[in-house]
Amino acid sequence: MSPEVLSISMFVFLLFAIFLGHPLGITLGALGVIFGILGYGPGAFFILANKTYGLMTNYVLVAIPLFILMAQFLDKSGVAEELYETMYIVLGPIRGGLALATIVVCTVFAATTGIIGASVVAMGLLAAPAMLKKGYSKELTAGVITAGGTLGILIPPSIMLVVYGGLIGMSVGELFMAAFLPGLLLSSLYLLYTWIYCTFINPDAGPPIPKEERTHTLKQKILMTFKSMIPPLFLIFAVLGSIAAGIATPTEAAGLGCVGALLLAAFNKRLNISMLRDAGYSTLKITCMVMLIFVGANFYTAIFMGLGGGDVFTKLIFAISSNKWVILGIMMFIIFILGMFVDWLGILLLCVPIFTPLAVNQLHFDPLWFAMIVSINLQMSFLTPPFGYALFYLKGVAPKGMTMAHIYKGIVPFVVLQAIGLILCIVFPQIITWLPSVIFK
């Protein structure tokens, strides 16, 4: 059997196994072993050992459990609750104010944790009951919580960017800085849409809080905002500031973030043995899941590329078109479609090793810009049915009466906004490249 036939069969079997619902990490590893033996014989096991050892000695990947642990500490520290209560008071009097407050809190929360589940679940528990109680539409409530929660996978510190950097040997610090403005762009688009929708299109979807509840003075609101913003800004400075200033590597900054989140939990009197045990256990489970997929995907990709899968894909793409923007569009479309069915980590580990050499070496795209385009696209995978993770995270904690139909309907305009953000970053690459060029010049 020729290497080309083996590589194509390998990809077809992967899609088939994914649609059958088999665990991604085990599926990738098993297919790697089967087709590795067919292509290389017993030597496939040496490839597996070599690739696994390489992963285990990758210093950058140490940041993954540290950032996950930081997210767990922060989730239990009470910082998000205090910030949302403040934004509730400050923005509640205007139409759509609670939805705007939710997006603001999600944005700040995203800059302190790279875990989508933590953001969506926390805001689902905090914001959804309050918004529905005040008469907000279920669709708008679901949309702002899920879209705002997914910002955590893009705005640094992001687990996805740590994995991306470790996968292709790119500076995680540069990826962090490059992702900052695209993340804020998406947040701004969400805020602008929500304000326009609640003010001009459907005022009943986001009514202001009653006048009798507006008892705080301007001075009190300013003081509350200042007080609630200090803890997350402290953590953001500890993590991103140390990286931007060149004081710490991303891995060291992740350690600083863990200490900072632990201090915030202690300051809010949430630090106890039970919290430490739960945070440690959750971190262990998530890290094991991530690394299992990482090992399986790394081995699968090595066999796939070794059998000539990358060359087959390149020839197929260039057979469709030689225009680099058409090829970029095809790659983005493939990632978007895969995002409906496959976890972001699987897409990242499968597509990036194949797409990046093509985009950088043959199409001559800037590698940092291309990495961000892929990352922004991957963010949409959390919202696109049928398997958008953010949708199920919210459904798991949604108040009674909010169905999956409400959630599916609510995310539609925000997926469109994410697509607009992606297009803007393609048309205006400075959105991505400007900040890294200033900081790392």
| Residue 330 scores a pLDDT above 70 | yes
User: What tens digit of pLDDT does each residue of 372-407 get?
Assistant: 999 999 988 889 887 788 888 888 888 888 999 999
Q: Is the pLDDT confidence value at 123 over 90?
A: no
Both tokens of residue 258?
């863990």
Position 326 scores a pLDDT of 95
pLDDT surpassing 90 at residue 363: yes
State the pTM of this model.
0.88
AA identity, residue 426? I
Q: What is the pLDDT of residue 435?
A: 94
Q: Does the structure show a pLDDT above 70 at 134?
A: yes
Give the list of residues 6+ apart from residue 291 with CB closer than 8 angstroms, or none. Answer: 55, 61, 64
- Look up tokens 């500490």; give the residue: 73
Query: Is it the case that residue 262 has pLDDT exceeding 80?
Result: yes
Q: Which residues contact 119 (CB under 8 A, 6 or more apart)?
A: 106, 109, 110, 113, 148, 149, 150, 151, 152
pLDDT band at 1 (very low <50, low <70, confident <90, very high): low
| pLDDT tens digits for range 264-289 | 888 888 889 998 998 899 889 888 88
Both tokens assigned to 262? 């632990």
Give the pLDDT of residue 269.
86
> Distance (Å, rounded) from C-alpha 270 to C-alpha 73?
9
Rounded Cα–Cα distance for residues 249 and 252 (Å): 5
Averaged pLDDT, 410-429:
96
Please report the pLDDT score of residue 114 as a whole number. 67
What confidence tier does 301 reach under pLDDT thresholds 50, 70, 90? Answer: confident
What does the alpha-carbon distance between residue 327 and residue 332 come to, in Å, rounded to a whole number?
9
Residue of 19 and 292 predicted with greater confidence: 292
> Using CA atoms, how far apart are residues 259 and 248, in angstroms rounded to an integer?
14
pLDDT at 199: 93
**What percentage of the chain carries pLDDT values higher than 70?**
99
Q: Can you tell me the mean pLDDT for 9-13? A: 86
Give the residue-averaged pLDDT of 140-165. Answer: 91
DSSP track, 257-279: HHHHHHHHHHHTT--SHHHHHHH
Q: Calculate ∠ Cα 18-22-23, nearest 5°.
A: 105
Count CA atoms within 13 Å of residue 399 on its CB side.
Answer: 18
- 423 is written with which tokens? 């297009």
